Amino acid sequence: MTEPDIILRDMLRTRLTDPNPNRVADSPFVIDDWPYQTDLTTNHFPRISIINQFESGKPYGLGSTNVLSTSRLQLNIWVKPDQPLTIDTSQYEGFKQVRQLMRNVSEAIRLHWIGDLAQTNKVIYQVSINWYPPKMEYGYNLITQVGDITFVILRT
- Over the stretch 68-81, which tens digit does the pLDDT of each residue have? 888 889 999 999 99
Stretch 22-43: mean pLDDT: 80
Q: Quick one: what percent of the chain has pLDDT higher than 70?
A: 87
pLDDT at 6 over 60: yes
Q: Which residues of 22-41 are buried (b: 16+ CB within 10 A; e: fewer)?
A: ebeeebbbbbbeebeeeeee
Residue 117's pLDDT band (cuts 50, 70, 90): low
Q: Which of 43, 141, 138 is nearest to 85 (CA)?
A: 43
Structural domain containing residue 138: 3-155
Angle 95-108/3-15 helices, nearest 10 degrees?
120
Give yes or no for a contact between 76 and 149, defined as CB atoms under 8 angstroms apart: no
Q: Indicate the pTM of the whole model.
A: 0.84
Q: State the average pLDDT for the chain.
A: 85
Q: Provide the pLDDT for residue 71.
A: 85
d(CA 128, CA 131): 10
Q: Which of 15, 43, 1, 2 is nearest to 113 (CA)?
A: 15
pLDDT at 1 over 60: no
CATH of the domain at 90: 3.30.2000.30
How many CB atoms within 10 Å of residue 79? 29
Stretch 59-87: mean pLDDT: 87
d(CA 115, CA 109): 9
Q: Provide the pLDDT for residue 116.
A: 66
Into how many domains does the chain fold?
A: 1
